[in-house]
Structure 1
Amino acid sequence: MGWLGRILIWGAGLTLVLAILAAGAAVVGWFYITDNLPRVESLTDYRPPTVTRVIAADGSLMAQYYHQRRFLVPINQVPRQVILAFVAAEDGNFFKHQGIDLLGILRAAIANIQAGRVVQGASTISQQVAQALLHTPAKVWVAKLKEMVFAWKMEKTLSKEEILYIYLNEIYLGHGAYGVEAAARTYFGKPANELDIAEAALLAGLVQAPSRYSPLRHPRRARTRQVYVIGRMAEEGFITKEQARAAMDQPMDVELHSPRTVMAPYYEEAVRQWLEERYGSKLLYEGGLTVHTACDPAMTAAAKAAIAAGLAELTHRQGYFGPLKRLSPEALAQARSRPVGPGEVAPGARQEAVVTAVDRGKQRAELRLGAARGYIGFDQVKWAHPPVKDLSAPTPRVKSIEEVFAPGDVVLVRPEKYSANTQSWSLELVQEPVSQAALLALENHTGRVRVMIGGSNFDKSQYNRALQARRQPGSAFKPLIYAAALDHPTKVYTASTQILDAPITYDDPVKPGEKWRPKNYSSRFYGPTTVRQALAHSRNVVTVKLLSELGISYVINYARRLGITSELYPNLSLALGTSGLSLLELTLAYGVFDDQGILMDPVFVERVNDRNGVEIYQSAPQKRQVISPATAYLVTHLLQGVIQEGTGRSMLVLKRPLAGKTGTTNDLRDAWFMGYSPQLICGVWVGQDDNSPLGKRETGARAAGPIWREFMGQALKDQPAEDFPVPEGVVFARVDRNTGVPIAAGGKGGFFESFKQGREPAPGEDSGGGQSEKPQDFLQSESFGAAPVAPAVPGATQRPQALPAPGH
């Protein structure tokens, strides 16, 4: 064999070795590139992060929770022009290639070389889907190889429609919008199935660089891209030249659209916390749940308005807290020197203003709101007396506008009306309330929580005073004690039972050697008093005596039956509502009386559906018959008396059957109004977070009552005025309203009192039922030993409390 043969043999061998090495390298490279690639088959169940929506009872949107704002839309619901706009903009050969467009790569390379920079991409739609799913770096060649391999695999497994479905739902299109549906809602305020050619082209133009071509930030660039996409659609034959021309000439109305939502932030946050606790953070923010709540938007709006008005009235009575700040002489001179004009003033909206002059003769102040000028007269600020810290001191009177304003004061005002003749606004002095309010409204028979407001301003405080706060209910707790009396298994009490309202003394369990003498809010004693009169007029002494007779342990256990779960301190001050409760549990307890003895679980969330519409939660509130319907009605009948002749008389203006009770705590720190109609149960609390007094004479009737009255008036205005249903086992007998003594047949006067069957008094019978004290000298002081302390009961501790002066 010659040298040529040897060279050929060696060449052939080397070629074989190189071929083997190349094949091995290709195999290694293939395994390296395909290593950790997800299974393409899994894409048939494409489940990207989607928005969880919270829906109110009327179907309106309350809130959205998400990490990526995406709404899945089936490909068959995406208009043809939208699909073709994205294909034309990003991958004209999409329907022809198998995931990799070699001609497109060559064309893009030539264009980029000619431009000296990257002006055209070569990634197909399939590659873009691969990049989005693999989260690969944009400019790493190994990553590009992975994308190409994965795109090729997708084309082998998925149809073009399935790839487009993933693509149109996955792509990011700026301003937090993922997918065409979110983008259509964001930029145009409508769903993707309503997009026309011009709008579709604008969105398709965003894919390359959403921030660079944002129509909100860079409208000219966005317009350039839109024209390009429309031109590409025409070049590919997707639309006619006439359609392209019409689309290019079409004016665009693009703005950032935020979904209109129900303003119920405390309710929304309670639902969000419930969802996160039940389903976890991932499912909440990525699972695409649809959450249906019991929230009523109209009632919620009425409640917010009632709270705002009630707190505004309260803050007027509390006095003027002074200016927000004072300007320096230089800043004041600058404010005065500005040219006068209408300014940027929104009627009815609160804003800051500077007092520039105070006219002693005309008793009015001039204020400036930037360029705008306004006036406030003395009549509008008569309420603005200094706050009274000593509740026993008289309320000061404002005698001059100079007591309220001084030049340089920065105050909060509400512009009302502009006069072009005087170039000035009429203004109202306002101030942010220091007090808080909470309101809960539940639907009778179902427990659906229609309204929950946990404070006056969620933006300033997310603390939910309807659920989280434990405040003393004062006399609002008394109906639970009277219910326990009417339901006592051995002692007979009726609405006509008399109890002596007279001075009484107990040993103070906290301060040995000292005495506690409960007294009524009026500091008077009223002698023999019926149970009805005692509850209607919130007589503290009678309630303390009744609690003592019933036994504290019995009453605490009875309150537990009504749904009270908070700690109840086992001493006689319980009669005055000194143990803190939440607004929710007290409202539920009142619901037992309204619902004929049934304790309902509150329903905030009615049902939850997953992203496929499958129901994964349905509320099934427990209904527990905790007291008899007869007892519940007797309490309701008594609470109707509170409104008809007692501390709730202001509710008579609503002209419908109502039952309710005021509550005021020691030193006027908490004000309550709890009540219900046959349709709706509502509780209102007003107080201050630092537990300071609300102000002089700020009782439950005055501070909380107007809010309850205004809300219930609006909430029930379209509902019939129904009577409370009378259950079996309740009978009526005509008795004297003041004494409870039965009136003989044919006698005049009196009214029909309700009794449990068999406990109604006969004419001439002692109304006390064996439990009343004989009305001797009711001003004679009675002394008792130490206030009885109940044995330990579940949820109550044996920590004694000082017995305070009573509330109302």
Structure 2
Amino acid sequence: MPVSKSANKNSKGGKNRNKPKKKKKTLAKIVLTVISILILAPVAILVILYLLLASSVPNITSLKDYHPRQVNYVYSASGKLVGYLGSVNREVVPSSDIPLQVKEAFLAAEDKNFYNQGPLDYRAIVRAFVVNLAAGRIVEGGSTITQQVAKTLLVPYRRTYTWKLREAILAYRIANHLSKDDILDIYLNQIYLGGNAYGVEAASLTYFGIPVGKLNLAQAAMLGGLPQAPSFLDPYVHFKYAKRRQKYVLEQMAKDGFITPARAKIAYNTKIVLYNFFKFYGVAPYYLAYIKQDIINKYGKAVYEEGDFKIYAALSARAQKYADEAVKNGLTKLSHEYGYTGPLQKLNYEEMLKKIDDEKSLIKFLSKDSIYKGFVTGISKNGQTVYVAVGKFRGILPVSNMRWASHFKRYVYFTYRTISSAYQALEPGYEILVKFDGYNNNLAPIFSLEEKDVIEGALVSIDPKNGYVRAMVGGYGFSHTQFNRAIYAKRQTGSAFKPILYAEALTLGYTPSSIINNTPVIYPTGVRGKYYKPRNFSRKFTGPTTLLIGLAHSIDVVAVKLLKKVGVNKVADLANKMGIHHVVRNLTMALGSSSVRLIDLTNAYTAFADSGKECKPVFIIKILTPGGKILYNNKPECKQVLSPQVAYILTNMLEKVITMGTGVTVSKIRDITPYVAGKTGSSSQYRDGVFVGYTSSLVTGVWTGRDDFHSMGRFMVGAITAAPIWKSYMSKTLNVYPPEAFVIPKGVVFAVINPYTGLIADSSYKDPMLMPYVAGTEPTSVKRQKKINNPHLFFGLF
């Protein structure tokens, strides 16, 4: 049927009417798609960003997952806590050990709504965002305590928006898995509180010298104010600002209902006394510093820095205390012997004021017996008081604490010159060294004048039965220099090496009665035109001399001739066997020309003290992991290096060093015990002074000298410099380690002899001596003695 024209028109018009509808639908789809993309894209980006960031966030689902770095605990051999080691000064304590008022102080200062809100404070976040946007960088945070916990767990922390997102993710994760009490527990153990202290326990010990459980309200409020700006509010640095912040915390505690306003006022008026708690390295800084390096060498720095290990050291707390006192007092006396060498520099008034101002913030607190740079700001008219500025502290230096400071004269000794007025040594504007002695009744610091040209020293004390190092001092003071001269310095031993030579001679069949002719001698050196001519300290020669007298009076020519007979290589091999390596292999070895560590020399003497047996030095007995498992267990490693007979005979000869020879300066120690032996030593030009002495329970070596190898001064020999320090230490320590008589081994017999002839003493000799010998080598004949009135006039104290 034919279609009409009108119908065609209608059909065409319908199609045209449908076109706008399709366009609208397409446009709607596009708009919808764009809107969906605009909505979903950021969501997708956020999801992806969350997944990326969340993967790098710590997984804290319980308190068991909280493993912060903290200190390692060091105990003495008897189990007494003697110090701490670690990269972070933190001690984790359980919530039950933290008083409620400490928790409330931190809540009032940092997050009063902590128990009533979520992990994030959105108002604070918006406020901080506006401030940061205006500044163009992150200058303010909006952190709750939960966020602060998250922040401290993200190490290293960075002030970026990406890091803030990680912080928020971790905060929510922590809030979802931990209770509020658990979060606060982590916070109080984790937060940095200035003074290199992390957590409330470390901060309490650092600032007040007591555990957190013993803090009063005033102290708790001061700690609670520190998180806002721990370095600036450090009480040691800016006490008045810390005090101002404390007031704010107390007011907030009263406002929030934790305390009454009356208690807040009383707490604010409570006097705060800061405590100098020298936590790291404790009572034995050189010893603990060596232990630290030993652990790092064994297990790596990462293991060491994790902390919470229990380290049991071989040291004795009492012996270490006596060692520190003996070394410091002895070296101070030696450094004062020749008078005062003068100030570090002299400044005019304006220069001095500028330096004082520049150094105000460098010294946070004064540590007793530590040495500081100070400035003479004035002297009283009568010359009895010097006014001294040390950092921000103002103190006094009484003339009684500087009487030794007469004009310096290097070669005048034993005159004990003193001064009566400070004007004889000091002037205003002088920069000087002073030692802090404490405070007077007016709480003014009291100082002593110190010598800049100081003589250094070291001491090491070893139990011969097991090698346990009971005490070690590496220098005048750890705050002065941390270089450990007992371990790392190689210095000449002088005559303290001679016992090793004599030990080899006895092994080869020589006896105390063997004769060496004490006469001049010249040896070729192998270099054309050069000869070696040993000489005695006294420049005297006495002819035939027994080994007993040669050792007791440290006669050099006797020692060199004995070495020539015994053999350089044989003595060097024995020294190596006893732990002294790389000795000089020529005739000067007899006089101690080799450079030796004090620890090695002292440990070699342990063989003499314990029947020829020598153990490796032991510093660490054992190490326990945080879980209580044994990480390291050090069993003594000992070996026989001498026969018991040789060790005993040599010990008997070294006893005579103290009763009649160069060691008479320590002979009064025989009032405590007769069972003591030792040997002095001095290097040429008086550069080194050594004394190694021992009982059956303890072997102690002392070295004195200057780090620059310059002379200590005329007549500064081992008997004068090192032996008194040894005597001071041993006279106290023998009460801790009482000695017994040296064990007489089988195969040893005794003979009553004349020590100068080595033969059996006849009835007319007034001072016969009972001496040991290997059976079959003892003297049997009698010969009239050669009379020597005073052997000290011949050989001197060397």
TM-score category (smaller protein): 0.7 to 0.9
Q: Structure 2: any 5+ residue segments left out of the alignment?
A: 1-16, 353-366, 389-395, 438-445, 787-794
Measured after TM superposition, the shift of residue 476 of structure 1 is 0.9
For the pair 1:33 / 2:53, whether they are aligned, the reply is no
> Normalization by structure 1: what TM-score?
0.75
Measured after TM superposition, the shift of residue 554 of structure 1 is 1.0
Assess if the C-alpha contact under 8 Å between 1:108 and 1:120 holds in 2. no
Assess if the C-alpha contact under 8 Å between 1:576 and 1:807 holds in 2. no
Measured after TM superposition, the shift of residue 432 of structure 1 is 4.2
Q: Deviations over 1:564-618 (max 9, x none)?
A: 12x2122111111111111111101111111221211112233333444544223
Residue 178 of structure 1 aligns to a residue whose secondary structure is coil
The residue aligned with 1:682 is: 700
Measured after TM superposition, the shift of residue 719 of structure 1 is 5.2
Report the more deviating stretch, 594-603 or 88-97.
88-97
**Pick from 274, 284, 300: which aligns with 2:304?**
284
Assess if the C-alpha contact under 8 Å between 2:754 and 2:765 holds in 1. no
The residue aligned with 2:487 is: 467
Instruction: Describe the shift of the 1:368–1:413 C-alpha distance in structure 2 as closer, same or farther (beyond 3 A).
Output: farther
Assess if the C-alpha contact under 8 Å between 2:552 and 2:660 holds in 1. yes
**Pick from 580, 589, 610: which aligns with 2:595?**
580
**Pick from 45, 70, 81: which aligns with 2:65?**
45
Measured after TM superposition, the shift of residue 176 of structure 1 is 3.6
The residue aligned with 2:560 is: 544
The residue aligned with 2:791 is: none
Measured after TM superposition, the shift of residue 547 of structure 1 is 1.1
Assess if the C-alpha contact under 8 Å between 2:458 and 2:704 holds in 1. yes
Assess if the C-alpha contact under 8 Å between 1:385 and 1:396 holds in 2. no
**Pick from 263, 274, 278: which aligns with 2:294?**
274
- Could you tell me which amino acid in structure 2 is paired with residue 550 of structure 1? V
- Could you tell me which amino acid in structure 1 is paired with residue 468 of structure 2? R
Measured after TM superposition, the shift of residue 298 of structure 1 is 3.7
Measured after TM superposition, the shift of residue 623 of structure 1 is 1.2
- Could you tell me which amino acid in structure 2 is paired with residue 753 of structure 1? M
**Pick from 210, 218, 221: which aligns with 2:245?**
221
**Pick from 201, 209, 222: which aligns with 1:181?**
201
The residue aligned with 1:764 is: 781
Q: Distance in 1 between matches of 2:767 and 2:796?
A: 34
- Could you tell me which amino acid in structure 2 is paired with residue 545 of structure 1? K
Q: Distance in 1 between matches of 2:400 and 2:765?
A: 62
Report the more deviating stretch, 534-543 or 478-487.
534-543
1:51-450 to 2 correspondence within 5 Å? 51-56=71-76, 64-80=84-100, 82-83=102-103, 86=106, 99-100=118-119, 105=122, 124-134=144-154, 146-195=166-215, 200=220, 203-207=223-227, 210=230, 216=239, 217-232=241-256, 234=257, 246=263, 249-251=266-268, 252-254=270-272, 256-260=274-278, 262-315=282-335, 317-318=337-338, 321=341, 366=383, 369-370=386-387, 386-388=409-411, 405=424, 431-450=451-470
For the pair 1:706 / 2:724, whether they are aligned, the reply is yes
Measured after TM superposition, the shift of residue 228 of structure 1 is 1.6
**Pick from 637, 640, 651: which aligns with 2:655?**
640
Report the more deviating stretch, 245-254 or 5-14.
5-14
Assess if the C-alpha contact under 8 Å between 1:563 and 1:585 holds in 2. yes
The residue aligned with 2:734 is: 716
The residue aligned with 2:518 is: 501
Measured after TM superposition, the shift of residue 716 of structure 1 is 2.0
Instruction: Describe the shift of the 1:740–1:316 C-alpha distance in structure 2 as closer, same or farther (beyond 3 A).
Output: same
Assess if the C-alpha contact under 8 Å between 2:592 and 2:683 holds in 1. yes
Q: Distance in 2 between matches of 1:188 and 1:682?
A: 37
Measured after TM superposition, the shift of residue 32 of structure 1 is 1.4
Q: Distance in 1 between matches of 2:369 and 2:49?
A: 68
Assess if the C-alpha contact under 8 Å between 2:399 and 2:420 holds in 1. no
Assess if the C-alpha contact under 8 Å between 1:290 and 1:609 holds in 2. yes
The residue aligned with 1:554 is: 570
- Could you tell me which amino acid in structure 1 is paired with residue 683 of structure 2? T
- Could you tell me which amino acid in structure 2 is paired with residue 693 of structure 1? S
Measured after TM superposition, the shift of residue 754 of structure 1 is 0.8
Assess if the C-alpha contact under 8 Å between 2:457 and 2:702 holds in 1. yes
- Could you tell me which amino acid in structure 1 is paired with residue 311 of structure 2? V
**Pick from 632, 641, 661: which aligns with 1:626?**
641
The residue aligned with 1:597 is: 612
Assess if the C-alpha contact under 8 Å between 1:666 and 1:807 holds in 2. no
For the pair 1:528 / 2:528, whether they are aligned, the reply is no
Assess if the C-alpha contact under 8 Å between 2:60 and 2:174 holds in 1. no
Residue 310 of structure 1 aligns to a residue whose secondary structure is helix
Assess if the C-alpha contact under 8 Å between 1:306 and 1:707 holds in 2. yes
Q: Deviations over 1:397-433 (max 9, x none)?
A: 989999x9589696889999xxxxxxxxx99987444
Instruction: Describe the shift of the 1:376–1:33 C-alpha distance in structure 2 as closer, same or farther (beyond 3 A).
Output: closer
Q: Distance in 1 between matches of 2:477 and 2:113?
A: 56
Q: Distance in 2 between matches of 1:728 and 1:697?
A: 42
Instruction: Describe the shift of the 1:747–1:168 C-alpha distance in structure 2 as closer, same or farther (beyond 3 A).
Output: closer
Q: Distance in 2 between matches of 1:555 and 1:139?
A: 66
Instruction: Describe the shift of the 1:41–1:752 C-alpha distance in structure 2 as closer, same or farther (beyond 3 A).
Output: same
Residue 679 of structure 1 aligns to a residue whose secondary structure is coil
Root-mean-square deviation over aligned CA pairs: 5.0
**Pick from 522, 535, 555: which aligns with 1:519?**
535
The residue aligned with 1:335 is: none
> Normalization by structure 2: what TM-score?
0.76
The residue aligned with 1:452 is: 472
Assess if the C-alpha contact under 8 Å between 2:406 and 2:417 holds in 1. yes
Q: Structure 1: any 5+ residue segments left out of the alignment?
A: 333-345, 359-364, 417-425, 768-774, 776-804
Q: Distance in 2 between matches of 1:685 and 1:10?
A: 96
Q: Distance in 2 between matches of 1:197 and 1:407?
A: 46
- Could you tell me which amino acid in structure 1 is paired with residue 536 of structure 2? N
Q: Distance in 1 between matches of 2:147 and 2:632?
A: 39
Q: Distance in 1 between matches of 2:400 and 2:221?
A: 55
Q: Distance in 2 between matches of 1:486 and 1:62?
A: 43
Measured after TM superposition, the shift of residue 479 of structure 1 is 0.5
The residue aligned with 2:751 is: 733
Assess if the C-alpha contact under 8 Å between 1:352 and 1:369 holds in 2. no
Residue 681 of structure 2 aligns to a residue whose secondary structure is strand
Q: Distance in 1 between matches of 2:145 and 2:332?
A: 59
Assess if the C-alpha contact under 8 Å between 1:666 and 1:806 holds in 2. no
Instruction: Describe the shift of the 1:612–1:17 C-alpha distance in structure 2 as closer, same or farther (beyond 3 A).
Output: same
Q: How many residue pairs align between the two structures? A: 722
The residue aligned with 1:697 is: 715
The residue aligned with 1:361 is: none
Q: Distance in 2 between matches of 1:427 and 1:259?
A: 20
Q: Distance in 2 between matches of 1:543 and 1:178?
A: 60
Instruction: Describe the shift of the 1:518–1:748 C-alpha distance in structure 2 as closer, same or farther (beyond 3 A).
Output: closer
